[in-house]
Amino acid sequence: MKKCIFLLFFAIADCSLDRCHVLQAVKASGLVGIKGYTAGDYVCLAYHASGYDPTLNRNPYEYGMFQINSYMWCDDGKTRGRKNLCHLWCKDLLDNYLSNDLRCVEWIVHGSNGLDSWDTWRTHCKGRDLRSFETGC
């Protein structure tokens, strides 16, 4: 019985989504094509930023699957001088519902830096063949 409870706990604790779920959400969001970005760009970013974990809060200032920064984009209630340009609470980026995340990503992408706003995207995705992030679903 203890083994079942232990396994159930870890099944619930693992909130990561799979690549195909993220790809479907990105395609449905209307992000594809903005500034020439492909679905692969966004899925690659999600993979390298969080491993598709929408509940990730890796450091005190980055939230959700895309690790959105609390200084510029969301309100965590503690970051001094925050801008909250996405007009949302950072905690709303820490669930399995990607609509808030994708809406905020859209705000960021429309900004002057686009996906270059993420070091992770520049390091792991920019200028690379990203077809593997878009196929097999």
Residue-wise pLDDT for 6-27, tens only, equals 333 333 345 689 999 999 999 9
Tell me what pLDDT residue 112 has. 86
Q: What CATH number is given to the structural domain containing 20? A: 1.10.530.10
CB 67, CB 120: distance < 8 Å: yes
Does residue 5 form part of some domain?
A: no
The position carrying tokens 């196929």 is 135
Tell me what pLDDT residue 7 has. 31
Does residue 7 form part of some domain?
A: no
Does residue 52 form part of some domain?
A: yes
Number of structural domains found in the chain: 1
CB 32, CB 118: distance < 8 Å: no
Does residue 38 form part of some domain?
A: yes
Tell me what pLDDT residue 47 has. 99
Does residue 1 form part of some domain?
A: no
> Which of 24, 19, 30 lies closest to 103 in space, CA to CA?
30
pLDDT in tens, 117-129: 999 999 999 999 9
Tell me what pLDDT residue 14 has. 52
Does residue 11 form part of some domain?
A: no
Tell me what pLDDT residue 104 has. 98
Does residue 122 form part of some domain?
A: yes
Q: Which residues of the chain have pLDDT under 50?
A: 1-13
Helix H or strand E encompassing 45: helix 39-50
Does residue 68 form part of some domain?
A: yes
What range does the domain containing 48 cover? 16-133
Tell me what pLDDT residue 3 has. 38
d(CA 85, CA 108): 9
